Amino acid sequence: MAIQGFLVVSLLFSCLAATSYGEVTFSSLQESLIVTASPKLRQVLKAGEDNIIVSWSFNKSLAAGTDSSYKTVKLKLCYAPVSQQDRAWRKTEDHLNKDKTCQHNIVTKPYSSSNNTFTWTVERDVPTATYFIRAYVYNSADHEVAYGQTTDAHKTTNLFDVQAISGRHVSLDIASICFSAFAVVSLFGFFFLEKRKAKVSQAK
């Protein structure tokens, strides 16, 4: 009898665990943080050089105690819709494990309801695109429970741009040109050698 009871309870418990462990969707998250960032509208930042100062805090107009389960905050750089067009690898999906909107991490910090700020130098591997910043809040089980972002629900306001590095270096340029010149010179060398071989065989 006790064993049966135990089995039923553990079955119920595992079902519950399964549902809570299930995929978290973006639409289930509450927007409870206010996030602001230093770039002005459509300002162009250079990757590897310019800074972004991000500040975030709990939205005080919401009921107190809403943030009791909040443990950590992760800030990410996210693509604006204009930079997602025709690019399936940046697509927005409701299921957060499949969502590819936010691919660049800025910082992860323990949660505190106010006075949070961070200065981030835009990293060198950020591509040229239009962005906004979003903060995901995680509970102690490391699941997303809330978020906040610098833009509105349609992702049209407060967007800024990043200009990527070109990846070119002077050394690469020089190497390319030298090797190319070498190839062309070799070609002329081949023709010259060929003519000489032919003359030699004619002389024989």
Binding site for other proteins (CB under 8 A): 86-87, 89, 124-125, 127-129, 164-169, 172-173, 175-177, 179-184, 186-187, 190-191, 194-195, 197-199, 201-202
User: Measured between alpha carbons, how far is residue 165 from residues 37, 41, 122, 170 in Å?
Assistant: 22, 21, 11, 13
C-beta closer to other proteins: residue 6 or 191: 191
Name the token pair of 128. 């040229």
Shortest Å, Cβ 89 to other proteins: 7
Shortest Å, Cβ 1 to other proteins: 47
Shortest Å, Cβ 130 to other proteins: 13
C-beta closer to other proteins: residue 42 or 91: 91
Q: What is the spatial distance between Cα 27 and Cα 154, in angstroms, rounded to a whole number?
A: 13
C-beta closer to other proteins: residue 10 or 105: 105
Pure H helices in 46-153: 81-84
| CB-CB neighbours of 92 under 10 Å | 15
Length of the chain: 204
User: Measured between alpha carbons, how far is residue 148 from residues 28, 32, 94, 169 in Å?
Assistant: 13, 6, 16, 38
C-beta closer to other proteins: residue 33 or 96: 96
Shortest Å, Cβ 186 to other proteins: 6
